[in-house]
Amino acid sequence: MPDLFPNVYTVTQITEEITQVLSDTFSSVSVEGEISGWKVAGSGHAYFSLKDEKSLLKAVMWRSRLERLGLEPADGQLVQAHGKLTVYGPRGDYQLDVTNITQAGVGLLLQRFEKLKAQLAEEGLFDPDRKQPPPFHLRRIIVITSPTGAAIQDFLRVLRSRGTPVEILILPVRVQGVEAPMEIARAIGRARDLGGDLVLLTRGGGSLEDLWGFNEEVVARAIADCPIPLVSAVGHEVDYTISDFVADLRVPTPTAGAHLVADLVEGLYENFDEKKQRLGEAIGDVIQHRRVDLNLLIQRLKSKSPASQIPHFRQRIDDTLERCGRALVQRVATNRRDVKEILTRLHGSMEKDLLTMRSKLEVRKEKILAFNPQSTLSRGYSRIETAKSNRPIRKKNEVPTDEDIRVQLADGAFEATPHL
């Protein structure tokens, strides 16, 4: 019976044949693609992939060539890699053995990253003034991550090892793939209703594509709208995502996020003890100052008390009485001088007035005496009047015929009957 498969190869033989074919056909080739998964091993050799929209090609660049390279390759860069195709026998993978890399332009993902970063920065989402400080009380942490990933395990392990007394609430989400951004954004929105004091957004490291869910605009705006302080702990130290820039605080790894939480809790307790001590010292200082003030007030009150003021007021009364006495004596002496002077002036004036009045009185006396009827009668005149009515008779025709008359002389009067 004829052999149906005359050429039978061992795995090694077929691998060597393929290697020879590739080496002969693609001994010098340039491939354009976007760098993904760039990693430099401890040996100094670089391992990465070149990709486009549909395919991915593994590549390696040895240390001796990498040291002479004039640029620093990074995920997302669109480059032209020059080298030859080889086969890595132990795995049977074909790869590009790169001798040189030149930059062909910025990769599509990196372009999107830089464009969104610039847009959000212009809107102010990265401004330090809008970022919230860590909370003063840290009792519940809301962790948004994959519940099965290594990130959450590292996070919990650190907290357990440090004995951090804090409640952890995990909101499970996809952290990679097309559905990841919306799930992350919804979880951030839920966090505000769960009573957390701090939100931790985390996942482990990976390529730019792996971390792309944290570079979407919907996640960035959810972080910006979150009323609770949010920490971004995504990837490794060299990885930066849009969420890192928008978050209130960024730490390089999930493990660093756990240490941050532990440090915050310990710092709060230390801060509490320190403030307690400072408060006690401040209260003691206040009490001491108030005690000094109180003693001063007591002394002032004693100095102002009625009992302490009595001697002072007694002395003031004595001084006032003495001044009043001196003033009264002086006033009496002054008044006496004034009265004496007034009396002297009054006496002189009265004597002058008295002489004047006496002179006037003598003149008037002489006038009165001149007009006194008695004086007239003493000169030989008489006064005649009716006897009954005492009516004076001045003319002859006034003499009554039916009535007596009375004749008044200097030494007396008599009645008579007229005979006409």
Contact partners, residue 231, CB within 8 Å, separation at least 6? 198, 199, 200, 201, 247, 248, 249, 250, 251, 257, 260
Residues 140 and 245 in one domain: yes
Res 116: pLDDT = 92
Burial bucket for residue 184 (CB in 10 Å: 0-12, 13-18, 19+) = buried
Rounded CA-CA distance 241/211 in Å is 7
Res 245: pLDDT = 96
Res 274: pLDDT = 55
Residues 79 and 151 in one domain: no
58 located within any domain? yes
Residues 119 and 257 in one domain: yes
Residues 117 and 71 in one domain: no
pLDDT in tens, 213-252: 999 999 999 999 999 999 999 988 878 899 999 999 999 8
Q: In terms of Cα–Cα distance, which of 85, 131, 127, 123 is closest to 217?
A: 123
Domain that holds residue 237: 113-268
Residues 124 and 67 in one domain: no
Identify the band that residue 271 occupies on the pLDDT scale cut at 50, 70 and 90: low
DSSP 28: S
The strand pair at 230-234 and 249-250 is best described as parallel
Res 111: pLDDT = 77
222 located within any domain? yes
342 located within any domain? no
- CATH, residue 137: 3.40.50.10550
Q: In terms of Cα–Cα distance, which of 155, 181, 184, 149 is closest to 253?
A: 155
Domain's final residue, options 268, 284, 300: 268
Angle at 223 between CA 219 and CA 228, to 5 degrees: 150
Q: Where are the alpha helices (DSSP H) in 231-253?
A: 242-246
pLDDT value at 105 more than 80: no
Domain's final residue, options 106, 134, 161: 106
Residues 57 and 200 in one domain: no
Whole-structure pTM value: 0.46
**Arithmetic mean of pLDDT, 386-410:** 80
Rounded CA-CA distance 60/269 in Å is 51
DSSP codes of every residue in 125-152: TT-GGGPPPPPS---EEEEEE-TTSHHH
Residues 24 and 61 in one domain: yes
Identify the band that residue 171 occupies on the pLDDT scale cut at 50, 70 and 90: very high
Domain's final residue, options 106, 138, 157: 106
Residues 84 and 134 in one domain: no
Other beta carbons within 10 angstroms of residue 142's beta carbon come to 24
307 located within any domain? no
pLDDT in tens, 21-64: 777 778 788 898 889 999 999 888 999 999 988 888 999 999 99
331 located within any domain? no
Q: In terms of Cα–Cα distance, which of 168, 229, 157 is closest to 197?
A: 229
141 located within any domain? yes
Q: In terms of Cα–Cα distance, which of 70, 63, 27 is closest to 42?
A: 63
CB 408 within 8 A of CB 385: yes
Residues 189 and 97 in one domain: no
Residues 130 and 236 in one domain: yes
Domain count, the chain: 3
85 located within any domain? yes
Identify the band that residue 353 occupies on the pLDDT scale cut at 50, 70 and 90: confident
Residues 165 and 260 in one domain: yes
**Arithmetic mean of pLDDT, 280-309:** 74
Three-state secondary-structure class, residue 342: helix
With pLDDT > 90 as the criterion, what percentage of the chain qualifies? 24
Look up tokens 């007694």; give the residue.
314
Rounded CA-CA distance 5/71 in Å is 51
Residues 157 and 51 in one domain: no
Res 414: pLDDT = 80
* Burial per residue of 94-110, b for 16 or more beta-carbon CB atoms within 10 angstroms, e otherwise: bbbbbeebeeeeebebb
- CATH, residue 100: 2.40.50.140
pLDDT value at 129 more than 80: yes
For residue 259, give both structure tokens. 């240490």
**Arithmetic mean of pLDDT, 262-275:** 66
327 located within any domain? no
Res 273: pLDDT = 52
φ/ψ of 62, rounded to 5, equals -75, 155
Q: At what angle do helices 306-371 and 254-304 cross, to 10 degrees?
A: 40
For residue 45, give both structure tokens. 């050799």
Mean residue pLDDT of the chain comes to: 83
**Arithmetic mean of pLDDT, 189-200:** 89
